[in-house]
Amino acid sequence: MLQLPVSRLRLPEGPRTDLALAGIVLVLAGVAEGQRLGPDWHATASVVVSWLLAAAVCAALPSRRRHPVAVGWFVVIGTGAYYLTSTVDGPLVVIPVVALYGLAARGRIRAAAAMAAVMVTGVGAGALAGTGDVNGTAVFMLAGWLVAVVALGAMRHGRVAYAEEEARLRATQERLRIARELHDVIGHTMSMIHVQASSALHRMQKDPHQAQEALTAIKQGSKEGLRELRATLGVLRQVDEEAPTTPAPGLSRIGDLVSSAVRAGLDTRVERSGAPSPLPAAVDLAAYRIVQESLTNAVRHSGARRAVVRVHHGDRELTLDVEDDGNGTRRGNEDGIGSGIAGMTERARALGGTLSAGPGDAGGFVVRARLPF
């Protein structure tokens, strides 16, 4: 059985659609008014006025996007005047119905409701005046149709507003993700370069050999940081291109982080436990960045000499502990979102995990993260 994608069905929109609809309604209204012509096709003044009103109302519809409220009131009043002068039940009421829907869909709910109330009031007054073609049933049906039209327009406006808000939220989350990536890449590299440069300046006169080693470490670290920065920026540029083939950094590269920390003077070792298994890409990247940021903070802020990175592979989650022997003070830039401890916490929460950071029981500073698969 053929199934249509109902969620993708859209009514035609735009000025051309309005122009086509107005033309069809005008032709049908002209045919209806033709019933009032005599045998000799003589048009009375009432017929001429009805035709002119119908033409004016239909001609105003294509302008409803530029002047929605003015066009709405014009077609409502013009349609009412048409039905007062005409003795046939023509299709001109379609025009104000479309105008009311457009107003409600654009968020002009009060204006649409006011126009609907005027239309119902006018038809009700005609019923009370004893107009032959208008009765209580007609008033009731018109009121129901107008309420439905305004409600549908309001629902359309709500769906559009929700979609726009969701798009803004996705854009905000993407900006935060990019900010975290750039902070982790640049912050780690620049911190190591800063520490090594300070060491080289301090040892330049006393121990030229160690100063040379520090400068070599700066060269290697800046090269690696520049490579990773180019890879990150390359991903951001690939909007309409093919997906990047270079894998994102993960725990398989934790040795690079340890080597960088060792070159900066932080004696670092890694302890693994559990049964290692392939990690989801998001978990692998978050684990790498958390270890990277923890070691960067240890080098920059704690004055630590040693650090231990513990990685435990569980059945349904990955657990990380990064502990150093520094002064145990709180570290990282907490003033901005996506940096320091705040950035690590956001990464863990985005995966449904947790992260804690603070002084250890035996001194130093400890970062603990739980990242579920």
The answer to whether position 158 is within a domain reads: no
The answer to whether position 182 is within a domain reads: yes
Between CA 261 and CA 324 the distance in angstroms is 12
The answer to whether position 24 is within a domain reads: yes
The answer to whether position 325 is within a domain reads: yes
Bridge partners, 354 (sequence order): 370
> Domain check: are 173 and 313 in the same one?
yes
50, amino acid identity: S
> Domain check: are 206 and 339 in the same one?
yes
Domain count within the chain: 2
**pLDDT, position 208:** 72
> Domain check: are 80 and 206 in the same one?
no
**pLDDT, position 286:** 87
Q: Indicate the residue among 81, 116, 134 that finishes a domain.
A: 134
> Domain check: are 104 and 176 in the same one?
no
**pLDDT, position 369:** 92
> Domain check: are 180 and 124 in the same one?
no
pLDDT per residue of the chain (373 residues) written in tens, 0 to 9? 444 444 444 556 677 888 888 888 888 887 877 776 766 666 677 778 888 888 888 888 888 888 888 888 988 888 888 877 777 776 888 888 888 888 888 888 888 888 888 887 877 766 665 555 555 676 777 788 888 888 888 888 888 888 888 888 887 777 777 777 677 667 667 767 776 677 677 767 677 776 677 777 777 777 777 777 776 666 566 544 444 445 567 888 888 888 878 877 788 888 898 888 888 888 888 888 888 888 888 877 777 788 899 999 988 889 999 988 877 665 544 443 345 788 788 888 888 889 998 888 777 888 999 998 8
> Domain check: are 308 and 359 in the same one?
yes
Q: CB burial class (10 A; 0-12, 13-18, 19+) of residue 45?
A: exposed
Q: The domain spanning residue 221 has which CATH number?
A: 3.30.565.10
Residue 208: give the domain boundaries.
Answer: 168-236+250-372
25, amino acid identity: V
Between CA 314 and CA 34 the distance in angstroms is 83
> Domain check: are 63 and 184 in the same one?
no
The answer to whether position 340 is within a domain reads: yes
Between CA 90 and CA 276 the distance in angstroms is 77
The answer to whether position 152 is within a domain reads: no
The answer to whether position 2 is within a domain reads: no
**pLDDT, position 7:** 41
**pLDDT, position 50:** 80
**pLDDT, position 38:** 61
> Domain check: are 280 and 202 in the same one?
yes
Model pTM? 0.48
Q: Indicate the residue among 110, 134, 158 that finishes a domain.
A: 134
Sequence-distant (6+) residues with CB within 8 A of 143 are 120
Helix locations, the chain, DSSP H: 15-33, 45-60, 68-85, 94-105, 109-128, 136-203, 208-237, 254-263, 281-297, 340-350
> Domain check: are 180 and 299 in the same one?
yes
Q: Indicate the residue among 92, 111, 134 that finishes a domain.
A: 134
> Domain check: are 59 and 190 in the same one?
no
Give the residue among 180, 182, 188 at the shortest CA–CA distance from 348: 180
> Domain check: are 84 and 175 in the same one?
no
Between CA 127 and CA 93 the distance in angstroms is 17
The answer to whether position 99 is within a domain reads: yes
**pLDDT, position 277:** 82
**pLDDT, position 328:** 65
Beta strands 365-372 and 354-359, pairing class: antiparallel
Token output for 324 = 């150093």
